[in-house]
Chain A
Amino acid sequence: MRSGPTWFNVTSLVLGFTFLYLPIVILVIFSFNESRLVTVWGGFSTKWYVELFKNKQLLDAAWVTLKVAFLSASIATVLGTMAALVLVRSGRFAGRSLFSGMIFAPLVMPEVILGLSLLLLFVAMDQARGFWTVMIAHTTFAMCYVAVVVQSRLVGFDKSIEEAAEDLGCPPVRSFFLITLPIIFPGVLAGWMLAFTLSLDDLVIASFTTGPGATTLPMKIYSQVRLGVTPEINAICTILVVLVTFGVIAASLASKRQEVLRAQDERAAFGPN
């Protein structure tokens, strides 16, 4: 077997990644277009970014979206981590298959169904719709993603360290915060990030569950996109893409660094010296 990349593999990777990235690159380039026609280059300009910061409605929507994303991601991370602990640690209990079904089903459930069903719940509860209902809706589907991400982290976890602490008299809650949480932290952080971006991104569920005064950024973008492609939307999309890209890369570098440090600690603790 030949080792190393063959021309076929390199070509398929180059073509594949071009397909994945070219549309986004084009979108970013045309956000700096002088001309209002998005597909004809009229020279470099940052005027659409300036325009953005004058658009009060858009800024309001962005602020609502960030608040919803931050809150729902944080609650979803707590609930999702609990759910992951239940899935991995709690063994058998009545309703376990229902529990794991409820964790996995939202991952593949069409958003229109999730959105519609939550809206009808809020209506049945006679709950005024707005910020809080969107927040609850996002928490509900995001916690399932967090649970799956944290679960994969917990599966590879050496339980004996935790058991040792508990044998030495450490109460379970304390051993969770001192031992388990630091070890699964990269997973928890990744879960939070995923929940945050899912909420930032969601159009369908937010459209169903929102009410007056709580228009989110994707809803705003969507209503403008329906009217046509404008460089202003390109600009706001570019900002979002750049933010998310940096966030994801920073988080992955941070968790890698933590991994290395932890490996060093473990070697120091258990090593032959």
Chain B
Amino acid sequence: MSQQKPQAPKRSLGSKALIAVPFLWLVIFFLAPFFIVFKISLSEVAVAIPPYLPTFDLAEGWAGFVEAFSVFSIENYIWLTEDDLYWKSYLSSAKIALISTFITLLVGYPIAYGMARSPKEWRPTLLMLVILPFWTSFLIRVYAWIGILKNEGLLNQLLLALGVIDEPLVIMNTNLAVYIGIVYSYLPFLVLPLYASLEKLDMSLLEAAEDLGCPPWKAFWKITLPLSIPGVVAGCFLVFIPAVGEFVIPDLLGGSNTLMIGKTLWVEFFSNRDWPVSSAVAVILLLILVVPIVLFQNHQQKLAEMQS
């Protein structure tokens, strides 16, 4: 492969192999599949195995290849614009991800702040406590909320017993349950980068502000918050990007009117068995997500440069 031709002439065979093995693995199992998704998004659905047309037949050689290309059409993409299910799903995914990211920030900031201001000897333990749920199964953590949020669930039982409400709140199978699920599942992703930037903060700045008579809330607003923005941005991207394509949370906690694109793709693929349309849905989702992913990469690079 031409890409692996080393620029440095003295690269040994061993170090070439070191590059080649993971590189080739990712090209075959990560990069190449995207081209196949793109190809199939231009195909037609068919009652066959695999359920799409045309399929490439290498035995037919170049002529078969050209013929297959002539059958490609952007019909699936036109279909995506005609049926409002799809663009509504994209919009609603973005909206749900945005709102959840904002709530996660509101919940996560005080936690990260409390951790960064805690005594030094507590911090490794607190850090461990934030990371630990991340290791436990995502599915289990989402499942745990079903028993709490159900109409006859624990939250309603508690509120009824306390006399706060007269009849059960309907939270399960609504967008509210999806927000709770996303905030809960992605909280560690936001707290960790935010904690890292809050912990590095130079405390003498705050001491100086206090010495000069600045009240604590103003010092927070003028010093701590602006200096923690890199952590806030990184954390928000880490919540927002995966939340857009989330499937498990809207499927288990959301209702039938909770539209999210990950769920739409899943249904299109598994229930309707329409592989070409689900490929087209995936291609568009990817194109939408490229924007925040590139922004996030740039942000991380800038941070790394600032530190070095």
Query: Which residues from chain A sit less than 8 Å from chain B, CB to CB?
Result: 1, 4-6, 8-10, 12-13, 15-17, 19-21, 23-24, 26-27, 30, 38-39, 79-80, 82-83, 85-86, 90-95, 98-99, 101-106, 108-113, 116-118, 120-121, 123-124, 136-137, 139-140, 143, 147, 172-173, 193-194, 197, 200-201, 203-204, 207-208, 218, 221-222, 225-226, 229, 233, 237, 240-241, 244-245, 248-249, 252
Contacts and interface: CB of A to CB of B under 8 A. Distances in A.
Query: 6 closest A-B pairs (Cβ-Cβ)?
Result: A110-B245, A117-B33, A12-B110, A16-B111, A95-B3, A23-B144
Given A16-B111, A120-B275, A140-B29, 14 more contacts: A9-B117, A12-B114, A17-B111, A17-B129, A27-B147, A79-B21, A94-B2, A94-B4, A103-B26, A108-B237, A117-B36, A207-B270, A221-B139, A244-B135
B247 interface: yes
Main secondary structure of the interface of B (DSSP, over half): helix
Contacts of A16: 107-108, 110-111, 114
B136 A241 contact: yes
Interface in B14-45: 14-15, 18-19, 21-23, 25-27, 29-34, 36-37, 40
Q: How large is the interface on B (under 10, 10 to 19, 20 to 34, 35 or more residues)?
A: 35 or more
A195 to B, nearest CB: 12
Nearest to A203: B139
Contact of B286 (A10, A17, A113, A140): A113
Given A39-B154, A83-B22, A229-B150, A201 B139 contact: yes
Contacts, number: 249
B184 A200 contact: no
Nearest to B129: A17
A1 B15 contact: no
B102 interface: no
Interface string B1-18: 011111110011011001
Interface of B: 2-8, 11-12, 14-15, 18-19, 21-23, 25-27, 29-34, 36-37, 40, 50, 56, 107-108, 110-111, 113-115, 117-119, 126, 128-133, 135-141, 143-148, 150, 152-154, 157, 184, 187, 203, 206-207, 210, 237-238, 241-242, 244-248, 252, 262, 265-266, 269-270, 275, 278-279, 282, 285-286, 289, 293, 296-297
